[in-house]
Chain A
Amino acid sequence: MNFTDVIKLNKVFNSFEELFREIPVNDGMTISFHHHLREGDAVMFQVLKSIQKTGVKGITLACTSLMNTHDFIADMISEGTVSRIQTSGLKGKLAAMALNGGMQEPVIFRSHGSRARAVSDGELKVDIAFIAASAADMFGNANAIDGPNAFGSLGYGVWEAQNAKKTVIVTDYLSRGILRDISISQSYVDAVMIVPAIGNTAGVKEGSLKERSNPRDSVIAADVAKTIINCGIELDQSGIQMGSGSVSLQVGRYLSGYMKERDKKFKFGLGGITQDLIDMLNNGTFESLLDVQSFDPKACNSIRNNKNHHEIDVNTYANPLNRSSAVNFLDIAVLSATEIDTDWNVNVLTGSNGSIIGAIGGHQDVAAASKITIIAAPLFRNRIGVIRKKVTTVVTPGENIDILVTDFGIAVKESRQDIIKNLTDNGIKVLKIEDLYKKCISFTSEPCTVRFTDKVAAIVQTPDGKVQDYIYKKV
């Protein structure tokens, strides 16, 4: 029996027509995709276009996130193939469409942890999960570290596969032998769909990760590092999530030097795994990395060869129903914000003019669980003040935020007298957030309030599935 015979016999497909005969897509179904390939994703396009051709309508698209590369979905919504969207974030045309009335139903925004919960507690019932994997074998085993378009951790995909009614692995590389490293087991997989290419891994680094060299970021990073070092947490054997982007990168470098000098190590690093974090794993600053999403295709080799670089699924990362989830062991978290208000509520999803510009990601989950949560942000961006009296959209409530580090000063929440004392004793000036707010408007002046209708464009959930806030359509 030769190889092509094997393919015909088993659950491997190379035509969508045949796939849909085996696993039909019906009107009104909920289908899901992950966003590990970020701006380099081509799977959603190929699958959705094929679904569109079948004439099916009313699909609920439940993605772990959506980016600019998914602009094409806007047309699919207009002509009815897709009716509902559930995601962690929106960009481009879809973000605009959510606000200008192009979508019949409100978008549901969830954090990664919230989605993990929704998928496991039944709130989100996925009919078919289409999971991009860079390598699969004929039995259905899959990973994202082998193959020409390997992208690292398959953390979001793994949990989807375990919870969806049907799971289709979409890959451009079918291994002859059984995969050596298996992230998704064949037992969860109903079909393997071969496509010419799953995407472009250069796009993994795109989208909110570009390291733009900006001197203001250096000031913020230096102060974040100082704050972490002096806040009172013993950093040796601690767990930290630093985020990604120019500030996080520089914070990592400062902390690396600090830890090395004192022969200390972080027990684990969490969050999107960048090349810098892998370097810090290799130079001993981190004992281990817990990787739910790789932000650099180079992570593949590290996952494969370094037993301390663990691929974890999103349930292990941040499911609020999972008492052992990694976020529960975090000591320090550094997160960003589009806005923060004087009650310490944080917005990371919308801009001050009401437009949807970002994603929740793991923000809510990390802030809720970490011992200390630091928001790092400039005081204002292109005149738009980051500190406000009230945020436009509450994504992460103030009770979970402890410190704000800006380029014009550091503020600590009043109720964290322990942190205030530790920082002040070490010569770090601590301000009240109200004072930083005054400083902010001394530059920008008070903004006008943008007017919204009472039509809900999107619902922002809490990690446990309640409503945190609504996003309204603009006037």
Chain B
Amino acid sequence: MFWRSIMYVPGNTPSMIQSSMIYGADAIVLDLEDSVEESEKDSARNLVSCALKMLDFSGTDVFVRTNSVDSKHFQRDLRAVAGTCIYGIRVPKVQKAQEIVYIDQSITEIENELSLPGGIIKFMVSIESALGVINIKEICQASTRLIGVAFGAEDFTYDMGVKRTKEGNELAFARSTLALTARAYGKIAIDCVFSDTKDPEGLRKDCEIARSFGMTGKSVIHPGQIEVVNKSFSPSDQEIGQARRVIELYKKLGCPGVFSFEGNMVDLPVLKKYQRIYELYGRDKVE
């Protein structure tokens, strides 16, 4: 599971749901939370549920963002989408490990009830507050069903009482902490939304910052952002070409523990980096 771009789709707008799979996002999130007003939560839930059962989403992985654990909608949201083609759910505004336990248990219950293969529904959580950032270690340790954490900068900066800027210094600690901790516990870290849909250069810079901390993908809110994000979180053609040559040389030399490649030493940790790139990008292309 490696998603560079994850696109939010408002869950109460049929025309957007039915075309959400054409834009080339690595994953999409059908949203029942912030893009849906309170009086329409039931509409959106049923719309997303019917969409998952009746439309063809092949070609992209689908998540559903439920309402938060302490809302009255969470259980109904989960129930409406369990057993469909979703990869998992994304739960917003998570702050404590006990919410993780609750989510995991809720999903397990539903899997049992619907006789689904155990563990088939994964989940990610959004960290959107100071407390959530502080508790990230406990959060990551609390469940193996949890596959990743996403960063929600709008609510985070609101919680912190600071201004959100394009440069993003105010987010540095949170991004770094989330990326670090996620990596330590084998989870993925997804960066926050960049709200200016008309600033591709600003978006690219924001991606670079996120990538430099070790985050591996970013949430997007408009199809026009997907190309920039995918490119930013992919290795460059040079890097892919290099990885391919390293692996080829490695095989040719009979898989040694350490070897020299174009004047540089390649030992196991370095080799693993190249292997990761090769596995994801270098394998099917013919030189």
Contacts and interface: CB of A to CB of B under 8 A. Distances in A.
Interface of A: 215-216, 218-219, 407-408, 439, 442-443
A407 B19 CA distance: 9
B56 A219 contact: no
B23 interface: yes
B164 interface: no
A392 B222 CA distance: 36
B226 to A, nearest CB: 10
Interface in B199-242: 222-224
B56 A407 contact: no
Contacts of A407: 19, 22
A324 to B, nearest CB: 42
A219 B18 contact: no
B222 A215 contact: yes
A443 B18 contact: yes
A407 to B, nearest CB: 5
Interface of B: 18-19, 22-24, 55-56, 222-224
A215 B18 contact: no
Contacts of B19: 215-216, 407
B18 A408 contact: no
A407 B223 CA distance: 13
Interface centre among A215, A407, A442 (most CB of B within 10 A): A215
Q: Per DSSP, are chain A's interface residues mostly helix, strand or loop, or mixed?
A: helix
B56 A215 contact: no
A442 B21 CA distance: 14
Nearest to B56: A442
A443 B55 CA distance: 7
Contacts of A219: 22-24, 223
Contacts of B24: 219
A218 B18 contact: no
13 contacts: A215-B23, A215-B222, A215-B223, A215-B224, A216-B19, A218-B224, A219-B24, A219-B223, A407-B22, A408-B22, A439-B56, A442-B56, A443-B55
A215 B20 CA distance: 10
Contacts of A408: 22
A218 B55 CA distance: 22
B223 to A, nearest CB: 4
Contacts of A442: 56
Closest 10 CB pairs of A and B: A215-B223, A407-B22, A219-B22, A216-B19, A408-B22, A219-B23, A442-B56, A443-B18, A215-B224, A215-B23
A137 B55 CA distance: 64
A218 B19 CA distance: 12
A239 to B, nearest CB: 29
B45 to A, nearest CB: 22
A215 B23 CA distance: 8
B186 to A, nearest CB: 33
Given A215-B19, A219-B223, A443-B18, 17 more contacts: A215-B23, A215-B222, A215-B223, A215-B224, A216-B19, A216-B22, A218-B223, A218-B224, A219-B22, A219-B23, A219-B24, A407-B19, A407-B22, A408-B22, A439-B56, A442-B56, A443-B55
A257 to B, nearest CB: 13
Contacts of B23: 215, 219
A219 B223 CA distance: 9
Nearest to B16: A215
Contacts of B55: 443
B20 to A, nearest CB: 10
Contacts of B223: 215, 218-219
Residue among B18, B19, B23, B24 with the highest chain A CB neighbour number at 10 A: B19
B245 to A, nearest CB: 21
Contacts of A443: 18, 55
Nearest to B18: A443
A353 to B, nearest CB: 20
A31 B192 CA distance: 64
A226 to B, nearest CB: 12
Nearest to A442: B56
Contacts of B56: 439, 442
A215 B18 CA distance: 13
Contacts of A215: 19, 23, 222-224
Contacts of A218: 223-224
A190 to B, nearest CB: 54
Nearest to A409: B22
